[in-house]
């Protein structure tokens, strides 16, 4: 049982549906949607769920560099302890992939991680990972949400933000970096004498990715490594716009590439040596091709419905399968656990590989790009053009984030049920409703429309043989949604 304490203020209880797990956990605006009360209710619900599976569970509790993340984490840990769970508490801001690896290494029953990943500074969030180290699947999060609704009406707000408990603190860095050393060929990177620039975006990757390179004698110029809860005013998303400071660092350091990780280091960003932003879709396809060539893994790839078909073209070239999933990395993990894939990836800069965790790992992704450049001794642009030539055509994906009135968004499921036979002058060859509405055309170009699972907007994805044609299709999708 969770110890109830007297409420200080006579305030209304939380709405029963306030805690909702989207594609990657529960997120909200700090002090508005995401509160201490909500965190405690979510933690109590998670504790009840876990104790229904294991009599004596131990959970890891971690957090990122956001405003009040450690305090939220302590609140969650206190509830877990009061509920009869063992608690291991991270001794500092810790990357999500390191938390995933520690779950597996220690054979824990799961972890709570306080992070909003790449979202703007006003957000915070809570991720729950199960004993497999991956994001909790829908059947688990639905159970947690149901328990949270029941708890909301009788859960008393505590007087203080902190908790009086003393938890065992753990440092995950050494074990995680040791594992990364088994997956990445650092000797090849060191032998190349290449140097890199790294942008931590004020997030958890600072002192992890750069240390991994430094430990192996590889030159790295790291920027934005200090905590800044406002994230330079841009947010910790490794997008093209946000990585302009990294482009300057690449030029100043004469680096062969720029590497970046987001707020909790589960996503990656990559710049070529001339500062050009490389689409995460293209990074996924290049690394997939590289791993098959260098590791000899004749296994396929798992990708979300929103991710590039260049992965499919690479798979055909090597004679291996592709598995398509809904958006959300939690759907990719099972293919990894069954040893079906060389690489799992999402267009939103998420990647993992065979033998690693069923979770996005931005640190590993960046280091594999460094290894790939060191081995092939070519720029990323040169490698991409060579890959297009090998598979027989170019693939240029784009994504648009569209803000619509609530009534437009609420009407989408009905509108998606009436898919057009022709779209933007192209005949629709196949309709895919795995997640939203995806229209695939005869030439393997496609467009996808789906509401975001983490933010209040509609995402449009398109991919064709040129950027201009991809943008045209995305614009057609915008018109179609509002038409």
- Domain membership of residue 6 (yes or no) is no
**Are 192 and 165 in the same domain?**
no
Q: What's the domain count of the chain? A: 3
**Are 475 and 453 in the same domain?**
yes
**Residue 91 and residue 353: Cα distance in Å, rounded?**
27
User: Residue 158 above 60 pLDDT?
Assistant: no
Cβ atoms 134, 47 nearer than 8 A: no
**Are 335 and 350 in the same domain?**
yes
38: domain CATH number? 3.40.120.10
**Are 121 and 233 in the same domain?**
no
**Are 233 and 380 in the same domain?**
yes
* pLDDT, tens digit (0-9, with 9 covering 90-100), for 382-417: 999 999 999 999 999 999 988 877 777 777 888 888
User: Residue 155 above 90 pLDDT?
Assistant: no
**Are 149 and 242 in the same domain?**
no
**Are 152 and 214 in the same domain?**
no
Please identify, among 375, 391, 407, the residue that sits at the C-terminal boundary of a domain. Answer: 391
**Are 37 and 130 in the same domain?**
yes
**Are 157 and 181 in the same domain?**
no
* pLDDT, tens digit (0-9, with 9 covering 90-100), for 201-219: 999 999 999 999 999 999 9
User: Residue 22 above 90 pLDDT?
Assistant: no
Report CA-CA distances (Å) from 124 to 64, 69, 75: 9, 8, 14
- Domain membership of residue 5 (yes or no) is no
Q: pLDDT > 90: what percent of the chain?
A: 82
pLDDT at position 408 is 76
- Domain membership of residue 401 (yes or no) is yes
Cβ atoms 359, 262 nearer than 8 A: no
- Residue 91 exposed, middle or buried by CB count within 10 Å (0-12, 13-18, 19+): middle
pTM score, whole prediction: 0.93
- Domain membership of residue 19 (yes or no) is no
**Are 97 and 209 in the same domain?**
no
- Domain membership of residue 462 (yes or no) is yes
* pLDDT, tens digit (0-9, with 9 covering 90-100), for 27-60: 999 999 999 999 999 999 999 999 999 989 999 9
Q: Look up the domain containing 89 and give its range.
A: 26-171
**Are 156 and 210 in the same domain?**
no
Lookup: tokens for 470: 């991809």
**Are 81 and 153 in the same domain?**
yes
Please identify, among 353, 373, 391, the residue that sits at the C-terminal boundary of a domain. Answer: 391
- Domain membership of residue 16 (yes or no) is no
């Amino acid at each position: 049982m969770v110890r109830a304490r007297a409420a200080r203020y006579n305030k209304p209880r939380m709405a029963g549906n306030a805690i909702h797990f989207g594609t990657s956990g529960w997120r909200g605006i700090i002090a508005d949607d995401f509160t201490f009360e909500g965190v405690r209710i979510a933690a109590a619900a998670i504790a009840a769920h876990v104790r229904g599976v294991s009599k004596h569970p131990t959970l890891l509790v971690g957090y990122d560099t956001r405003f009040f993340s450690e305090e939220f984490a302590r609140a969650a840990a206190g509830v877990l302890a009061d509920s009869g769970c063992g608690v291991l508490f991270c001794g500092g801001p810790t990357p999500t992939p390191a938390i995933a690896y520690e779950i597996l290494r220690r054979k824990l029953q799961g972890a709570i991680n306080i992070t909003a990943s790449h979202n703007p500074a006003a957000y915070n969030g809570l991720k729950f990972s199960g004993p497999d180290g991956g994001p909790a699947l829908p059947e688990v999060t639905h159970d947690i949400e149901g328990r949270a609704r029941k708890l909301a009406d009788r859960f008393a707000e505590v007087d203080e933000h902190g908790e009086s408990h003393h938890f065992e603190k753990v440092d995950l860095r050494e074990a995680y970096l040791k594992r990364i050393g088994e997956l990445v060929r650092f000797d090849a990177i060191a032998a190349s004498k290449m140097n890199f620039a790294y942008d931590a975006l004020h997030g958890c990757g600072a002192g992890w990715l750069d240390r991994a390179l430094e430990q192996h004698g590889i030159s790295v110029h790291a920027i934005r490594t200090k905590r800044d809860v406002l994230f330079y005013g841009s947010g910790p998303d490794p997008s093209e716009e946000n990585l302009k400071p990294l482009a300057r660092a690449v030029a100043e350091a004469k680096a062969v590439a720029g590497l970046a990780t987001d707020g909790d280091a589960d996503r990656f960003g990559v710049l070529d040596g001339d500062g050009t932003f490389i689409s995460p879709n293209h990074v996924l396809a290049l690394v997939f091709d590289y791993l098959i060539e260098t590791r000899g893994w004749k296994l396929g790839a798992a990708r979300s419905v929103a991710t590039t078909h260049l992965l499919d073209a690479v798979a055909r070239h090597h004679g291996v399968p592709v598995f398509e999933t809904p958006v959300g990395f939690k759907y990719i993990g099972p293919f990894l656990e069954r040893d079906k894939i060389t690489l799992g990836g999402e267009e939103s800069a998420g990647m993992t590989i065979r033998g690693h965790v069923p979770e996005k790992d931005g640190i590993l992704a960046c280091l594999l790009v460094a290894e790939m450049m060191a081995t092939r001794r070519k720029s990323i642009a040169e490698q991409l053009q060579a890959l297009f030539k090998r598979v027989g055509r170019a693939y240029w994906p784009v994504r648009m984030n569209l803000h619509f009135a609530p009534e437009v968004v609420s009407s989408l499921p009905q509108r998606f049920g009436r898919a057009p036979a022709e779209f933007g002058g192209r005949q629709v060859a196949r309709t895919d409703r795995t997640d939203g509405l995806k229209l695939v055309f005869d030439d393997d170009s496609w467009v996808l429309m789906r509401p975001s699972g983490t933010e209040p907007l509609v995402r449009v994805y398109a991919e064709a043989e040129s950027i201009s044609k991809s943008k045209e299709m995305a614009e057609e999708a915008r018109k179609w949604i509002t038409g």
